[in-house]
Structure 1
Amino acid sequence: MYCEFNYLGAGHRHSKSEAIVMQKNHWTLIDKKNGVAIDRLDVSGADINTATAINVEYRRLSGGRQEGLHLLSIDNGSIRVSIIPERGMGIWKAWSDDVELGWQSPIDGPVHPNWVPLHEPSGLGWLDGFDELLVRCGLHSNGAPEHDANGQLVYPLHGKIAQSPAHHLELQIDRENGDIVVRGIVDEKRFLLYHLQLTITLKLQLEKHAISLSDQVTNLGATDCGMQMLYHINFGHPVLNPGAELILPVKQMAPRDLEAARDGSEWSRYDAALAGYQERVHFFELLADAENQTRILLKNSESSRGVSLRYDITQLPYFVQWKHTGSVDDGYVTGLEPATNFPNPRSFEESRDRVVPLGAGQSRQFDLYLEYHPDAESVKLAQQSVEEISEIEKQVIHAQPLADWSFEVS
């Protein structure tokens, strides 16, 4: 075990003999309140007296636009997950053996938020840092940029939380079962307007190809405040390839705009890479089982690999499919996006009651389970689970955008 500390700005290295006296299954990596920051940590199963195949690495990154970021990588023996605390605790990449779960963005990331011009006049500055597997969009707003009557930017694309740093970060490993739990806290606030706090708990269970997320958003202000959340979960090769398919238990679907409407009945399938491809987005309400759990599956054309999501539709009642099958150099990717709302400008969503109200001190919970399916049998079982939910009710597919769902055609 190796730890490198930075207390109140003063660097201090702890040798293995010094570090071993720490509570061996719990580490505080960042604690702004108490002036604690760790720049480096290495933990293996042997360090905590367990034979489990776990590994943890925590590093400060340097060079280029990643300068000053920290990368927390946790490995449970089946899946390795890398988290960036300074980017809203987003999941940068994940791997299962040599298979990358994520996508090859033209952005050479990870990118420190200092290099993301979030509030540039177009409102599209968020894209300058976009390369994660999972990035949260929110918390005060999460949709398209919005400008006032004078053309001034009011809400930037996808909100601010992904460019906000964690001020608390801790790691815990269960010596009995090998579970790895990461907990981070990120604030989004503006004087006189709102103070929202996001508490993130990410869990890996030993040798499972899955990531469990449990997020809580709390209004720490003294007055009511609305919030939005969208999980922008992005996949490219090898899960996404020509002929890949998205399997959903659709209750109701509509294309976002006329460009997406061109997909017609082929909305669920993905084409080969095409330079100049214009993104296509579809909006959904999904069906769920008796426990309000829905499940979705993205599988490759051979049905030999896939990824699935499971979550509660009472927490995240809407779903968005983002398709960008452009050239590999420009980003061949799809986004699977459970959300509290559709990613339209905030005022449009608020007028449709798709902004979550939070009274002073109130919280909202979001739970998400992401699973990788490494073989045909696992993909088959996941698809059967989706199809069982799909049988509950006949799906409604709209050929054209709905005015109540899409700002662009309202």
Structure 2
Amino acid sequence: MGTHPTGRPLDEVLPRIGSLAQLVACESYVLSDGPAAASRRIRLTVGELDVELLPDRGLDIGAVRFAGTPVAWISPTGLPRRASGDDFGRTFGGGLLTTCGLRNYGPAALDEGEAHPMHGRYSTLAATVRRVEADERGAAVEAEVVEAELFGAHLRSRRRIEVPLGSASIRVEDVVTNLGARPVAPMVLYHLNFGWPLVDEGTRLETGAAKVVPRDDAARAGAWNLFPALADPYPEQVFLHELPEGPAEVRIARPGGFGATVRFDTATLPGLVQWRVAEPGCAVLGIEPASAPTILGRADARARGLLRPLAPGESRRYAVEVAFAHP
């Protein structure tokens, strides 16, 4: 059954509480003011984790706190009700998770005559919430997101987000199915965004990569595994990590502070992109497991033979987990 954050076994804790809501709670509400007015939110409070879910942005994850401390980076745009696929930078709110896809990530791309916006359309799509549950095991939410067009691709992603009690972890699982009449190759990237105080000067990153490839001269100018001091300006840096096959673990640790671990399987997410900015107002570390080892968009993935089509009716499962731990 696991343990409570106090260290006591849950079967000892449960008889000592008046309501399960002392340990696990799910709250659904609608914001009433500001740029996010009329947007749905689901808040999961499980042990030491407080997790904000965004149904109107594909059931992505917004603000997250671990033991009362913020761990997700939030951009200056905030998290408005809908993102814009044509102007990603004006509506990219960050949050712990922005999903990129389902048919493109990286820069805007023209592929076989079809235009795809930067990082795809996923975060512009509203999810249909199918289930919200909370019990002595923790909390979970299930939803569906559909990306479709007339006479074109028709993909459905069934998402389940779990926050188990006693584990201080968040697990995201997507099952992407081709509901159309022709093969379609999905492209999916999990844009996980970590911020202060976990990310600060001296924060270390371990990925287990066999090779780390900087995207450009700006990335070659810095050590990828050590977060630098803030500077104005600080160029955006992107690194592609080449991982061995099998289960992968990426560790983030601030000296003397708590840490985070990202887990996924390279069988379905063989790419790992690292995004980093160390500028005042934008101190962020992005850890981005991806369905193909490229960050140059769909046309590049096709040219390099990295796309994996789904036949009509075929499904593919992707999963990422983020766990937090005290020093």
TM-score by length of 2: 0.89
**Mapped partners of 1:340, 1:117: distance in 2:** 23
1:30-86 CA deviation, whole Å, 9 max, x = no partner? xxxxxxxxxxxxxxx96xx64761122111012221011111001112211110100
**Counterpart of 1:112?**
81
CA apart distance, 1:287: 2.6
Distance 2:128 2:20 in 1: 30
Equivalent position to 1:345, from 278, 297, 300: 297
1:332 to 2:283 alignment: yes
Return the offset for 1:295. Answer: 0.5
Which of 285, 291, 299 aligns to 2:253? It is 299
C-alpha distance in structure 2 between counterparts of 1:69 and 1:354, whole Å: 36
Structure 2 equivalent of residue 228 of structure 1: 187
Quick one: percent identity of the two aligned structures?
A: 27
2:290 & 2:259 partners in 1: Cα distance?
21
- Corresponding letter in the other structure for 1:66: A
Long gaps (5+) in structure 2:
1-16
Partner of 2:324: 372
Check whether the contact 1:85–1:166 (CA below 8 A) recurs between aligned residues: yes
Partners of 1:168 and 1:69 lie apart in 2 by 13
Looking at structure 1, the residues matched to 169 and 201 of structure 2 have their Cα atoms a distance apart, in angstroms, of 25
Equivalent position SS for 1:259: helix
Q: Larger RCO: Structure 1 or Structure 2 (Cα < 8 Å, ≥ 6 residues apart)?
A: 2
Which of the two has greater helix per residue?
Answer: 1
Q: Is the 8 A contact 2:52 2:61 kept in 1?
A: yes
Name the CA distance, whole Å, in 2 between partners of 1:211 and 1:118.
26
1:249 maps to what in 2? Answer: 208
Amino acid at match of 1:214: E
The letter of the residue matching 1:170 is R
Q: CA deviation at 1:312?
A: 0.8
> Is 2:84–2:91's contact at 8 Å kept on the other side of the alignment?
no
Shift of 1:87: 0.3
1:127 aligned counterpart, secondary structure: helix
Task: Confirm whether residue 77 of structure 1 aligns to residue 47 of structure 2.
Answer: yes
Q: Which structure has the greater CA radius of gyration?
A: 1
Answer whether contact 1:79 1:208 (CA < 8 A) is retained: no
Deviation (angstroms), 1:162? 0.8
Q: Which of 248, 261, 268 is the equivalent residue of 1:315?
A: 268
CA drift of 1:148 comes to 8.3
- C-alpha separation in 2, matches of 1:191 and 1:262: 46
1:276 counterpart residue number: 233
Please say if 1:286 is aligned against 2:220: no
Q: Is the 2:214–2:239 Cα contact (8 Å) retained in structure 1?
A: yes
Letter in 1 for 2:100: C
Counterparts of residues 4-403 of structure 1 (less than 5 Å):
50=20, 53-107=23-77, 109-113=78-82, 116-119=83-86, 125-131=87-93, 132-146=95-109, 154-174=115-135, 177-263=136-222, 266-287=223-244, 292-300=246-254, 302-327=255-280, 329=281, 331-341=282-292, 342-375=294-327
Q: Answer yes or no: is the 8 Å Cα contact 1:145–1:153 preserved in 2.
A: no
Structure 2 residue matching 1:250: 3-state secondary structure: coil
**CA RMSD after TM alignment:** 1.9
Structure 1: gaps of 5 or more residues: 1-44, 120-124, 376-410
Amino acid across the alignment from 2:232 = A
Q: How many residues align?
A: 309
CA distance 1:153–1:63, change in 2 (3 Å): farther
- State which drifts further: 180-189 or 49-58: 49-58
Distance apart, 1:303 and its partner CA: 4.2
CA distance in 2, matches of 1:248, 1:140: 26
Query: Where in structure 1 do 4 or more consecutive aligned residues deviate above 3 Å?
Result: 49-52
What does the per-residue CA deviation read over 1:368-398, in whole Å, with 9 as the maximum and x for residues that have no partner? 11101222xxxxxxxxxxxxxxxxxxxxxxx
Aligned-pair CA distance for 1:153: 8.7
8 Å contact from structure 1 (residues 76, 208) kept in 2? no
Q: What is the deviation of 1:204?
A: 1.1
